[in-house]
A = this chain, B = another copy of it.
């Protein structure tokens, strides 16, 4: 069996590494250690010719003379078939290293299990290569970071928190706004006018705070969200409604 073990090394570990919202100090000791140690890192980016946003805030931790970097392209599209092609292509690249016994860290903004591309590759690795060990290192999500930056407590005592994409139609969104104590609306950029209308209708516009690219140098906090009307908003922005 020794021969077979020699020709077939143990699988490397696939590690999802949450690196927080963008402030290089809001990364955990564990994520920092893993990023410095792993032989292979992969980072997502939205266009072949573009740069990876998440790479920009961990590049000081990695050493490309010693570590391999794989840039994985995941276009910003809702076309499921096209996304699946990209997920499959990413899977092939990741698995090639895992199979050779190399640990692969997939770097994700925020937390790996909150609206990340990592989740799809993770699901594929688990389903198709159950022999590969996996690990997920949680990160500071943009939700916790935005609340902290804005000085807005999220939930206390018997309160309830809802987190959802703001892209829901009026009625479904308003139902949640009515029922919960604190509501975090993600992906607000394309539907802002509609969200503002719902908030105003429920008398909640004044209880809402807009946070853009929390933790990064471009961070912006807007407490009078009416000011944002007609502006082009960043896709990395969210609204916290605290009753």
Pick the contact of A155: B30, B33, B114 (CB < 8 A).
B114
Number of chain copies forming the complex: 2
**Cβ contact within 8 Å between A24 and B29:** yes
Say yes or no for A1: interface residue by CB 8 A criterion. no
Q: How far is the CA of A20 from the CA of B147 in the complex (A)?
A: 16
Say yes or no for A129: interface residue by CB 8 A criterion. no
Say yes or no for A176: interface residue by CB 8 A criterion. yes
Size bracket of the A interface: 35 or more
A 115-147 to B, binary, CB cutoff 8 A, 1 in contact else 0:
110011011001000000010111111001101
Q: What's the minimum C-beta distance from A194 to chain B, rounded to whole angstroms?
A: 15
**Cβ contact within 8 Å between B23 and A156:** no
Given contacts A153-B122, A158-B167, A165-B158, contact A113 B144 (CB under 8 A): yes
Q: How far is the CA of A160 from the CA of B161 in the complex (A)?
A: 11
Q: What's the minimum C-beta distance from A22 to chain B, rounded to whole angstroms?
A: 12
Q: A122 — which chain B residues lie within 8 A by C-beta?
A: 153
